[in-house]
């Protein structure tokens, strides 16, 4: 019972870390990274679709993204979606591909991005703590029902705290690395 609870909690904490990594990858850092377009939804064929389902995105240079649509008829839709997004990028459409020049980030924009990353990290920490709380509640409930002895419940809660500390430290490392990446000129 205790091992199952800990295993379940650890897998959920790992999922939080992966989601955080995924979110951080989408944060613009001044370098061309196709992941920054991950959230762009394009209205094409009568529905909203992720950009990566309609086009191939590549970064041939450090400050340039090239979007090659699978169907040339979606070029205008993709361009419109990028303009509507909160990326602040202006697409250049040449009739076959869309080029996105990534301008260097201003100091103010870098600070805003760092604040956004810290906010995302705090949400991840809260999610990890919620997993810990739910795991501890499950252990206490099992103890009350007589399914596990009291000392086993306490050992499980201590191990749950060690897992929590480990994954929160991992989030802190991700934040530090992303902040460094954003603040580099």
Q: List, for residues 52-96, the tens digit of each pLDDT value.
A: 899 999 988 878 899 999 988 889 999 999 888 877 788 998 889
8 — pLDDT class (breaks 50, 70, 90): very high
Q: What is the model's pLDDT at position 66?
A: 93
Q: What is the model's pLDDT at position 45?
A: 87
Q: What is the model's pLDDT at position 14?
A: 95
DSSP state of 152: H
In Å, what is the CA distance from 22 to each residue of 5, 120, 121, 141, 169?
A: 26, 11, 12, 34, 17
Q: Is 21 helix (H, G, I), strand (E, B) or coil?
A: helix
pLDDT in tens, 100-158: 888 887 888 888 889 989 999 999 999 999 999 999 999 999 999 999 999 999 999 99
Q: What is the model's pLDDT at position 164?
A: 96
Task: Decide if 2-25+106-183 and 34-101 have a common fold.
Answer: no
Q: What is the model's pLDDT at position 110?
A: 86
Q: What is the model's pLDDT at position 185?
A: 59
Tell me the CATH architecture of domain 34-101. Answer: 2-Layer Sandwich (3.30)
Quick one: tokens of 180? 């460094």
Q: What is the model's pLDDT at position 105?
A: 79
Q: Look at residue 172 and tell me whether its pLDDT is greater than 90.
A: yes
Q: Which helix (H) or strand (E) holds 148?
A: none
36 — pLDDT class (breaks 50, 70, 90): confident
Q: Which long-range contacts (CB under 8 A, 24 or more apart) does 59-63 make?
A: 59/32, 59/33, 59/34, 61/32, 62/31, 62/32, 63/30, 63/31, 63/32, 63/101, 63/102, 63/103, 63/104
Q: Which fold has domain 2-25+106-183?
A: Topoisomerase I; Chain A, domain 4 (1.10.132)
Quick one: tokens of 57? 């995105």
Residue 36 CA to residue 19 CA, distance in Å, equals 15
Domain boundaries, the chain: 2-25+106-183, 34-101
């Amino acid at each position: 019972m205790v091992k199952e609870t800990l295993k379940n909690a650890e897998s959920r904490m790992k999922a939080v870390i992966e989601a955080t990594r995924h979110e951080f990858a989408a944060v613009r850092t001044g370098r061309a990274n196709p992941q920054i377009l991950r959230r762009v939804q394009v209205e094409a064929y009568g529905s909203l679709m992720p950009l990566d389902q309609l086009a191939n995105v590549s970064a041939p240079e450090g400050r340039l993204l090239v979007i090659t649509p699978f169907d040339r008829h979606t070029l205008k839709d993709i361009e419109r979606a990028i303009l509507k997004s909160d990326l602040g990028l202006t697409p250049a459409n040449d009739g076959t591909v869309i080029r996105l020049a990534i301008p260097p980030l201003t100091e103010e924009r870098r600070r805003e991005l760092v604040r956004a990353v810290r906010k995302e990290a705090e949400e991840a920490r809260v999610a990890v703590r919620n997993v810990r709380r739910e795991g501890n509640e499950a252990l206490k409930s099992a103890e009350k029902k007589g399914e596990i002895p009291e000392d086993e419940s306490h050992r499980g809660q201590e191990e749950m705290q060690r897992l929590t500390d480990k994954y929160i430290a991992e989030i802190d490392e991700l934040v530090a690395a992303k902040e460094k990446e954003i603040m580099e000129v």
